[in-house]
Structure 1
Amino acid sequence: MTLPVYSGPVRLSLVESEDEESVRTVVRKLLADRCASEDVAAVYDGAQGPHGALWRTLAADLGLAGLLVPEEAGGAGAGPRETGTVLEELGSAVAPVPFLTSAVIATSTLVRLMPEQPADRSAVRDTLVAAASGELVLTLAVPWSTAPDSPAYTVREKPDGLHGDVTPVAGADAGTFLVPALGTDGPGLWLVDRAEVRATPVTALDMTRPLATLRLDGARARPVARGRAAEDAVRAGLLTGAGLLASEQVGLAHWCLTETVSYLTERRQFGRVVGGFQAIKHRMADLHIAVESARAAARYAAAALADDPGDAPVAVAVAASVCSEVAVSAAEECVQLHGGIGMTWEHPAHLRLKRAVADQVALGTPVRHRARLGGIVGIVPDKGCR
């Protein structure tokens, strides 16, 4: 008897819990006070970096860097649902903080190793404790476009250390890197201190999430996993990142929708409110439906990551392919329907457009995720489209 490729999901609730509502309220208030659009725009002038007071408050004071970290490792022991709520708010504000790269992707990679027998269990736990407290920022050293099912190994283990280049890496100003590399006995995962890595900035469309090329030339490293455990950990981190990136994109798209509707109900032209024209109403109605559909997909991905690991690859592929394109459409509509002011540097619409377009190629393109989805559910073979 041949088993089906995909057995289907279990029932998952998309209703926001009281804990999620509380987290959303706290984060939204913090961002309203500390992350104004003009402060985000200042990043493009080098006025601030991603590890400023805002990050310290989020990570250390509020303890949000440890949402995905188990309590025994100093974290909050929460899950992807609460983390997705945080990312919605961060996406709405285009907050220049390394939450996705450190508190989600890198942290999930290490958490995946906890039930295993890592090569250095104490190093894994100590690193998670430091990351959960906000003292340490982590980054998984893979190209930012890497899809969950296609991690590449461009770094090699040699007798004198790790050698190789990885580009472009998001969050490359981290204090510690998790470096997937090919060792003498196959794939492995190493912890590498920043002092051992040379990072060269790469010009990025979205400068609130800086990119860099990492060069390792005999870097001293601590191995934390080898073989299948290392591969599974990297894939788990990328899968969680891709699924929760969708929440960030939904937050961004909702901001664009809300701001555009608000503007259209005030702006007058030809003697009437612009939002009163039927063609404009239809465009906003279509965008509203798209944003709410994307929200459902993103929330389901977070729920599946939390409570239904078997369905998570399907849920993530759907959310990643849908939410990415909705975010770009919402940002484009926001710029266009704001007219001349939407094209100016002073208006925050361009910040959302840059983040939306940059996110569209992060952790796998929509085309890549749709190809993977077809392979999982047995509709079409996954031929490795990128």
Structure 2
Amino acid sequence: MHPRHPEIDPHLLSETEEQRELRTVLRDFFTEVSGPEDARKHQATPRGYDGTVWARLAGEIGVHGLAIPEEFGGSGYTFAELAVALEESGRTLYCAPLLPTVVLAAHALLYSGDRQACERYLPRIADGTLTATVAGFHEDAPAAGPEAGVQAEHGATGWVLRGAADFVLDGAGADVILVRAETPDGTRLFACEPTTVTCVRTPRRVLDETRRQALVEFRGAPAALVGGSGEVTAALDAGRAALAAEQVGGSGHALDATVEFVGQRRQFGRPIGSFQAVKHRLADVLVALEAARSASAYATACAALASPQLPVAASAAAAVCSETFRLATAEYVQLHGGIGFTWEHPAHLYVRRARSSEVLFGTADQNRTRLAELIGLAPRSAA
């Protein structure tokens, strides 16, 4: 379904006029509907986000269908437009499940090549009426006890799933879960529409409560086979590229908010932003942010074109953008002084998002190791 391109045109690393207009619309939208107070408010709700805003984002702006082909109910744009949306959502810590639904699940379906599954689920993802996620995609995911891992077996009426997957994004609420499961013939991809009878979903207490995760236990859950073996790695690399864009957005907010504060906060009769030590620290964040933007832009271009360079670009972006987000949020707290350490200030929410994001698809060190293997600087691991 995705054409292969051997090289990336440098022009694709710059935003088009249409993408800039989309960014303006989205920044206004997210500023209106999402922010620290909204994140705190929705933490106490069953789904963790505002369903009305989710529907508006899909219906009024069409974010959910940006990277979905028109034949499956989307608008037929590319991952580049979706990355703009993810970056802007990251600036305001938008807490709805864009990453698991619109990126991971949607791209797992597209990469699977299963037209029937795409026709069944993608139109509802595009119009915002279906949430979805993936499970079992990480071989090195935290164990869910002695029954960790998911197995698929033939039941009386078709395939059924047994086992467990832990720390599944939006696992407690997603309408559909795409599951990587072991079968007698090897690893395959399945679509499961969970019910309370055959699927037990237990929310996990996690550091970043704006991005919910859950333990999902499959107890003979009916499932449908999707495609062949399923291009799980490609979907994860799309997730890495998407998360990198989101981290760039969060880092940008942290820097902008800190620059604004140090320009207003005064000590010894002058703004603290005029002190050389403060300038140096903020300059370091800016340099790191520009590097992250470049890494994210390249990963986005590779994802948009389904380039064979996507694994390299995605792992590089994951490492660079994770460390930039960590640095930016650390300075966000430190340079706000005492107030930056309080529960009332939004800085800690960005710190939580940064710390949880940097381990979501492998740590910076793990992605560097993978990158070294991909480009031949280190032997490939046995896995």
**Corresponding residue number in structure 1 for 2:224:** 222
TM-aligned CA deviation for residue 167 of structure 1: 0.3
Structure 1 residues 45 and 341: alpha-carbon distance in aligned structure 2, compared to 1, 3 A threshold: farther
**Corresponding residue number in structure 1 for 2:121:** 127
Letter in 2 for 1:139: T
Structure 1 residues 258 and 49: alpha-carbon distance in aligned structure 2, compared to 1, 3 A threshold: same
Structure 1 residues 263 and 384: alpha-carbon distance in aligned structure 2, compared to 1, 3 A threshold: farther
Confirm or deny: 8 A CA contact 1:12 1:304 kept in the other structure: no
The one of 292, 310, 316 aligned to 1:312: 310
Residue 345 in 1 paired to residue 343 in 2? yes
Distance 2:111 2:25 in 1: 28
Distance 1:190 1:58 in 2: 28
Confirm or deny: 8 A CA contact 2:150 2:163 kept in the other structure: yes
The 5 A counterparts of 1:1-386 are 9-13=7-11, 14-46=13-45, 49-114=48-113, 118=114, 121-142=115-136, 154-160=149-155, 161-172=160-171, 173-195=173-195, 196-227=198-229, 230=230, 232=231, 234-307=232-305, 309-383=307-381
Distance 1:64 1:217 in 2: 34
| SS, match of residue 190 in structure 2 | strand
Distance 1:220 1:125 in 2: 19
TM-score under structure 2 normalisation?
Answer: 0.90
Percent identical pairs in the alignment equals: 38
Structure 1 residues 374 and 213: alpha-carbon distance in aligned structure 2, compared to 1, 3 A threshold: same
Structure 1 residues 343 and 145: alpha-carbon distance in aligned structure 2, compared to 1, 3 A threshold: farther
Task: Structure 1 unaligned segments of length 5 or more: list them.
Answer: 1-7, 148-152
Confirm or deny: 8 A CA contact 1:154 1:165 kept in the other structure: yes
TM-aligned CA deviation for residue 131 of structure 1: 1.0
Structure 1 residues 353 and 364: alpha-carbon distance in aligned structure 2, compared to 1, 3 A threshold: same
Count of residues in Structure 1 that have an aligned counterpart in Structure 2: 365
Confirm or deny: 8 A CA contact 2:200 2:217 kept in the other structure: yes
Structure 1 residues 361 and 145: alpha-carbon distance in aligned structure 2, compared to 1, 3 A threshold: farther
TM-aligned CA deviation for residue 194 of structure 1: 2.4
Distance 1:210 1:329 in 2: 24
TM-aligned CA deviation for residue 308 of structure 1: 5.7
Structure 1 residues 338 and 47: alpha-carbon distance in aligned structure 2, compared to 1, 3 A threshold: farther
Distance 1:43 1:206 in 2: 13
Write the deviation string for residues 229-273 of structure 1: whole angstroms up to 9, x where unpaired. x2x2x1121110111110000000010000000000000012211
Write the deviation string for residues 202-227 of structure 1: whole angstroms up to 9, x where unpaired. 11100011110000000011112233
Confirm or deny: 8 A CA contact 1:146 1:362 kept in the other structure: no
| SS, match of residue 218 in structure 2 | strand
Confirm or deny: 8 A CA contact 2:86 2:242 kept in the other structure: yes
TM-aligned CA deviation for residue 11 of structure 1: 3.5
Root mean square deviation of aligned Cα: 2.1
Structure 1 residues 146 and 261: alpha-carbon distance in aligned structure 2, compared to 1, 3 A threshold: farther
TM-aligned CA deviation for residue 144 of structure 1: 7.0
Letter in 1 for 2:337: G
Confirm or deny: 8 A CA contact 1:123 1:224 kept in the other structure: yes
TM-aligned CA deviation for residue 47 of structure 1: 8.2
Write the deviation string for residues 357-378 of structure 1: whole angstroms up to 9, x where unpaired. 0000011111111011111111
Letter in 2 for 1:281: K
TM-aligned CA deviation for residue 51 of structure 1: 4.9
Distance 1:226 1:324 in 2: 33
